[in-house]
Structure 1
Amino acid sequence: MTHQLTRDQARRIIVRAQLLDAQRPGDVVEVAEQLTAIKIDPTAPIAPCEHTMLWSRIGWSYEAGQLIKAVEMDRLLFEFDGAFRPTSLLPSMLPGMRRWPQRDSSRQWLEANAGFRADVIARLRAEGPLLAAQIPDTAQVSRAPDGWSGSNQVPHMLEFLQRQGVVAIARREGRHRVWDLADRVYPSDLPELDDDEATTQLHERKLQAAGLAKQGDRWWNPVGATGEPAVVEGSSWKYRVDPEALAALDEDDGGRVAFLNPYDSMLAHRSRLTEIFDFTYVLEQFKPKPQRRYGFFAHPILMGDRFVGMLDAELDKAREVLRVNAVHEFLPFDPEEDEMVRAEIVELADWLGVTLADAR
């Protein structure tokens, strides 16, 4: 049976799957378990992505120390490939990590640097946890600088070893990653899954986080044949829908206002935003200033299940104020909508521990 969804239903499924409905989650781990990944990014006109993602879900009670505790003390989350992920996801990731790399160039670089690889592992075994800067670069073959990293090959090797499940990030010192052997960071009693079991579980978790995913999508959110088939009015796409999300459609607890960091997972699938939400999102961070319409790092404003505007704001740490440069309204807000957005801005300033300087 193929489910026939209205656009309103499709939007509600996605918003609820992303924990952006009125029913807020209770803590950091609950968010990570549902979303499967909390993006890490240091760009912070307001706050880094990992913190704004959690605040936009949990609300005023979220504090940065809760994330640190979940990752570094409780080990209920772990850092991998630029995101914090729930440790419950590790068993389904490990089989793929053990097969890595698939690309010939990566495999050849590792083979050419077998001695370097052994040196890094031995150094961590003897002295870890360590910063990358504390590990000598003994590479036999270097990767060319890519604009994001320099000539030092240690970060490359650590990231390759992380993808293989050999090393892991034990904690952070500021924005710097501290590395150790994976068997000293990851739990030792994880269940063993074969490739098929792992793939199935990953697809199920991805669909859980998406709520509604494009069928056959191999790039943004591959979910395979998990879930149930669905179509959405006005869309030519074929979808897979999470049965639990479908069953919860009647539990309408209303919506709320949320400001989304530009790297928020809700915004990652740009074509789905256009297809389902009629929202064409362009990040203006890398555009020249004269070409920006909404601002360097403007946060999309979600109201209920619709995108209604963009918040251009920045934290002035020196003056301890949140400066609102503009609230761009896609359509003019009615008085109730305006009050809801203003109330959320006040909440944001309170969460940041600063006063509000409204420059509009």
Structure 2
Amino acid sequence: MKPIHVSRRDVRRFLLDTQSLLHSGEDTEASRSVLESTLRMIRQLECVQLDPIASVERNQHLVLAARIPGYEPPMLNELLSQGELFEYWANAACTIPMEDYPIFEATRNRFRSRTQAELDKLEPAACNVLERLHREGELPSRDFRSTERVHGGWDNKFPKTKATSQALNLLQDIGKIRVVRRQGSERFFDLTARTIPPELLKNAESIDEAQSNEALLEKYLRAYRVFDAGDARFGWQKLSVAERRAAIMKRVDSGKVIPLEIEGVRQNYFILATDLDQLREHKRGEQVFSPNEAPIRFLPPLDNLLWRRERLVDLFDFTYKWEVYTPKAKRHYGYYAMPILAGDRLIGRIDPGLDRKNRRLHIRLLQLEPDVEVTVYLRKNIRQALEAFAAFHQAIDVIIERTDPRCLSPL
């Protein structure tokens, strides 16, 4: 199949449209509650990445708030406790629609093979977890205590993780237990066998490895929408570059995937054939508002749009690095720098921090790209966006500590 010739602008707008980031926000009709819209959005995005860092609200809530007017953090936990979602590994730790539970069986099997030796060493703690959950029902993570320390995923030289905590993590990885609800950041666990709908458990047991991997790869393609073989996370499986290319070309040959030739971009990108009409609509569509007129959104570091950093450079001419793990002295944009989306352009970053006690939103740095013209309209839109961001966090004041360029201050 010959590549479709398309401009960067058209692909960029198509991608933003599929991510529900191009227009004013999710259409919450009178017949659809914000809670229903939240579940619908997660299904559209395929999954939303979870992260415990709370410089402001956590990543998963910022992803949804950027797309759904009226979204509030308790809504995600409500959907989890209702059994509409489950938490597992996709792009990383993610919240995922419950109906997708069976297709992750191959992933669970990979964890079972890889972690069995470690689980054998943790047998007393693991058995204790399973026995207590069987006997008592759902329990919070704090109820499992241990003086024994083992090497956890984030430990370096010395073991710092409680044996029970590591047992909880591994038992979740292999599918024995799962998070059934959250209270703040605390996880509540229960047995998978009695908390997953029986039909989904049956489907998980009957699906073979090839079917599971294929379905997972298809889910990845729907999540990314504009994809390439260079992504190490391709298919959410550990595939070699050759395997990634083969998976794409198989779909190109069958007509399920269409290659793109994007003006000014060397990388070979692809879309699903089912998305071609939507892409063509943007080729014929109206010009987007200029950054000065467009509504502003702040995207969290692990937003779905930002998963593929190289794609940001190719389509948005925007370089982004999450500097949370960068030593403070070497940071350019800040601990929790969030890209600023204006219309179909990424125009800069904010580095926010929330003083919860005093209900103040601190913007440690507000930075715009060098080619962005600072106008009265842009200043007004940024200020309105910051006020809305503060209101979402129940902050009563916004303090901007530093701006780049300086002419942004005072905002």
1:198 aligns with 2:212: yes
Q: Which position in structure 2 is the counterpart of 1:9? A: 10
Give the direction of change, closer, same or farther, for the CA distance of 1:217–1:319 in structure 2 (3 Å limit): closer
2:349 is paired with a residue whose SS is: strand
Counterpart CA distance in 1 for 2:377 and 2:218 is 39
Counterpart CA distance in 1 for 2:145 and 2:388 is 46
CA contact (8 A) 2:47 2:223 kept: no
Instruction: Show the 5 A alignment for 1:121-270.
Output: 121-135=130-144, 137=146, 142-143=150-151, 146-147=154-155, 150-190=160-200, 191-192=203-204, 193-215=207-229, 217-219=231-233, 224-225=247-248, 226=251, 227-249=257-279, 250=281, 252=285, 254=288, 256-270=295-309
Q: Which letter does structure 2 place at the counterpart of 1:303? A: A
Q: Which position in structure 2 is the counterpart of 1:36? A: 46
Counterpart CA distance in 2 for 1:62 and 1:164 is 32
Give the direction of change, closer, same or farther, for the CA distance of 1:45–1:118 in structure 2 (3 Å limit): closer
Q: Which letter does structure 2 place at the counterpart of 1:230? A: L
Deviation (angstroms), 1:142: 4.6
Between structures 1 and 2, the one with greater helix share: 2
Give the direction of change, closer, same or farther, for the CA distance of 1:218–1:313 in structure 2 (3 Å limit): closer
- Offset from partner CA, 1:137-158 (integer Å, 9 cap, x none): 598x954684387242122222
Deviation (angstroms), 1:287: 3.1
Aligned residue pairs total 355
CA contact (8 A) 1:45 1:297 kept: yes
Q: Which position in structure 2 is the counterpart of 1:322? A: 361
- Offset from partner CA, 1:194-233 (integer Å, 9 cap, x none): 3333223222221122110113634255573353322322
Give the direction of change, closer, same or farther, for the CA distance of 1:303–1:244 in structure 2 (3 Å limit): farther
- Offset from partner CA, 1:156-190 (integer Å, 9 cap, x none): 22222212111111112331211111022222222
2:39 is paired with a residue whose SS is: helix
Counterpart CA distance in 2 for 1:35 and 1:132 is 29
2:227 is paired with a residue whose SS is: strand
Which 5+ residue runs of structure 1 have no aligned equivalent?
A: none
Give the direction of change, closer, same or farther, for the CA distance of 1:199–1:321 in structure 2 (3 Å limit): same
Q: Which letter does structure 2 place at the counterpart of 1:312? A: D
Q: Which letter does structure 1 place at the counterpart of 2:101? A: L
CA contact (8 A) 2:152 2:166 kept: no
Q: Which position in structure 2 is the counterpart of 1:45? A: 55
Could you say what the CA RMSD is over the residues aligned between the two structures, in angstroms? 2.8
CA contact (8 A) 2:122 2:163 kept: no
CA contact (8 A) 1:312 1:324 kept: yes
Give the direction of change, closer, same or farther, for the CA distance of 1:11–1:167 in structure 2 (3 Å limit): same
Deviation (angstroms), 1:324: 3.4
Deviation (angstroms), 1:20: 1.2
Which 5+ residue runs of structure 2 have no aligned equivalent?
A: 29-36, 237-243, 252-256, 289-293, 401-408
Counterpart CA distance in 2 for 1:112 and 1:180 is 22
Range with greater deviation from structure 2 (280-289 or 114-123): 114-123
Counterpart CA distance in 1 for 2:39 and 2:395 is 27
CA contact (8 A) 1:166 1:181 kept: yes
Give the direction of change, closer, same or farther, for the CA distance of 1:197–1:317 in structure 2 (3 Å limit): same
Q: Which position in structure 2 is the counterpart of 1:284? A: 323
Q: Which position in structure 1 is the counterpart of 2:33? A: none
Deviation (angstroms), 1:112: 4.2
Give the direction of change, closer, same or farther, for the CA distance of 1:246–1:298 in structure 2 (3 Å limit): same
Deviation (angstroms), 1:310: 0.9
1:338 aligns with 2:368: no
1:58 is paired with a residue whose SS is: coil
Range with greater deviation from structure 2 (243-252 or 177-186): 243-252
1:322 is paired with a residue whose SS is: strand
Counterpart CA distance in 2 for 1:137 and 1:316 is 33
Q: Which letter does structure 1 place at the counterpart of 2:8? A: R
Match of 1:352 among 393, 400, 407: 393
Deviation (angstroms), 1:126: 1.3
Counterpart CA distance in 2 for 1:216 and 1:311 is 29
Match of 1:65 among 54, 57, 74: 74
Range with greater deviation from structure 2 (64-73 or 310-319): 310-319
Q: Which letter does structure 2 place at the counterpart of 1:46? A: V
Q: Which letter does structure 1 place at the counterpart of 2:17? A: R
Match of 1:77 among 71, 75, 85: 85
Counterpart CA distance in 2 for 1:87 and 1:63 is 21
Counterpart CA distance in 1 for 2:152 and 2:340 is 40
Counterpart CA distance in 1 for 2:127 and 2:391 is 49
Counterpart CA distance in 2 for 1:116 and 1:133 is 14
